[in-house]
Chain A
Amino acid sequence: MARARHPTLSQYSHFLTPAYHAFFSRLLDAPDDRPNVNHAAISRINLPMMRMLGLRYLMVDGPIEMPGLTRVARDGRYRLYELADPNLASFSPTRPHRVADARGLLATLADSGFDPRVDVAIAEEPGITDQLVPATDTTLTFVRGGFRFTGRSDGHSLVVLPVQYTRCLELHTVSGSGEGARALRVNLVQTGVLFSGDAEIEGRYRPDGPWERCVRDDVADVERLRIHDLVERRRLPSYSFPGERFRLFAPFGLD
């Protein structure tokens, strides 16, 4: 898909970011999956989260009947489904849910009452007003090295971009009638743009280096959100051994 320039949520890299790994393994992986820090792939259908992340098409190896999924094509045993109303920088929530850390963010996102079109989960962020209004006329265009976002707000609006958040992202307000735009981490992994008035905003990624501390700031975010508290101290997975493990202590809940 990547070679065909089809953007995917799934990633294969040396290391996923801790926040992305936590998000994917808790919300988009099946409970019996064996998530690892090098690879993220969807194995559980979670429509609210998929729509929030911007997923529009989902290829499935087999038939699925589920409200919100419409089959649009078939190729042998593969089916292509389209999700209704994905987030194309069009989600402008007005109900911020403030929580302390990553565990709280994940719990908020997993709540069945959480509607990503109107709800947003944020950690402690100064300067976010509760009087948010929905943005209108939003567009998102990718350009080399970043993106360009436009939107209109009658007050202060927060738009959830289907883009991973990083401290290396820098926003420049190209033109606008309101205050300068600001990027913040929302929904644990996504970029939120806070702006007012009519705004045309450019997002650029700056490289980390000796004079630039953005990656270190990302690492500090991991500490601040206490993502390491989410790590489950399990035994080594069975595929690390040559053969199936002899589960002597399984009846005692220790395996």
Chain B
Amino acid sequence: MAALLWAKLASGTATTTTVRLVAVVLCAAQVARLPRVPYPAAALVAFPVAIGLVLFNGGLVSYNRWSGAEPYSVQRLFATRPPFGEELSPQVALRPGSPFRGYADFLVAEKGVTLTAPNELRSWHVLDIRRSPSIRTS
């Protein structure tokens, strides 16, 4: 276990979760080996911990799955009109034959993942997603 931890640290792939899990395993093993701890009690703790670790590491079980969410999936969808759409259209909207009058863009101020979608997405594409009570549209 120590070799695994060292290898992950050396290769830069160790996460704080990894370190915590290794610490839990080592502590559990030490506790289970205490002479005062009877074997049935140690087994009662050690086996669920071992099984849980295997399942969590294999991806069969995860907190996200328990909470009803999948990692990297859309969690909330906000369907709004693009801000300033009416102001910008006469200024920069580009149509064949129209002169170029400049680009309109936005500054990404937040580092979080934001998905903006036009109102048209309230069609059947979204109806599937809206079955989830966590979806909000405006």
Interface residues of A (CB under 8 A from B): 1, 3-10, 33, 41-43, 45, 53-62, 72-73, 75-76, 78, 80, 86, 88-89, 139-144, 147, 162, 235-236, 241-246, 248-249, 255
The 27 listed contacts between A and B (C-beta, < 8 Å) are A1-B104, A3-B120, A5-B89, A6-B82, A8-B103, A10-B105, A10-B106, A43-B107, A45-B107, A53-B103, A55-B105, A56-B103, A57-B84, A57-B91, A59-B104, A60-B106, A61-B107, A62-B109, A75-B84, A89-B100, A139-B99, A141-B98, A147-B100, A245-B12, A246-B15, A246-B19, A255-B12
Whether B7 sits at the interface, judged by CB under 8 Å, is: no
Whether B51 sits at the interface, judged by CB under 8 Å, is: no
A interface footprint on B98-121 (CB within 8 Å = 1, 0 otherwise): 111111111111110000001010
Are B92 and A57 in contact, with the CB atoms below 8 A? yes
Whether B17 sits at the interface, judged by CB under 8 Å, is: yes
Docked Cα-Cα span, A80 to B15, in Å, equals 41
Are B17 and A243 in contact, with the CB atoms below 8 A? yes
Docked Cα-Cα span, A115 to B93, in Å, equals 28
Q: How far is the CB of A154 from chain B (nearest CB, A)?
A: 24
Of the listed residues B16, B94, B102, the one surrounded by the most CB atoms of chain A closer than 10 A to its CB is: B102
Whether B125 sits at the interface, judged by CB under 8 Å, is: no
**Cross-interface CB contact of B108 among A9, A43, A72, cutoff 8 Å:** A43
Using Cβ atoms and an 8 Å threshold, which residues of chain B touch A55? Answer: 102-105
Docked Cα-Cα span, A86 to B100, in Å, equals 11
Q: How far is the CB of B43 from chain A (nearest CB, A)?
A: 29
Docked Cα-Cα span, A57 to B102, in Å, equals 8
Using Cβ atoms and an 8 Å threshold, which residues of chain A touch B13? Answer: 236, 241, 245
Q: How far is the CB of A12 from chain B (nearest CB, A)?
A: 11
Q: How far is the CB of B60 from chain A (nearest CB, A)?
A: 14
**Cross-interface CB contact of A244 among B15, B95, B104, cutoff 8 Å:** B15
Are B107 and A60 in contact, with the CB atoms below 8 A? yes
Are B12 and A59 in contact, with the CB atoms below 8 A? no
Docked Cα-Cα span, A140 to B105, in Å, equals 20
Whether B87 sits at the interface, judged by CB under 8 Å, is: yes
Docked Cα-Cα span, A143 to B105, in Å, equals 22
**Cross-interface CB contact of B100 among A43, A162, A235, A236, cutoff 8 Å:** A162
Whether B85 sits at the interface, judged by CB under 8 Å, is: yes
Closest chain B residue to A77, Cβ basis: B83
**Cross-interface CB contact of A56 among B83, B104, B111, B120, cutoff 8 Å:** B104
Using Cβ atoms and an 8 Å threshold, which residues of chain A touch B96? Answer: 142-144
Are A143 and B12 in contact, with the CB atoms below 8 A? no
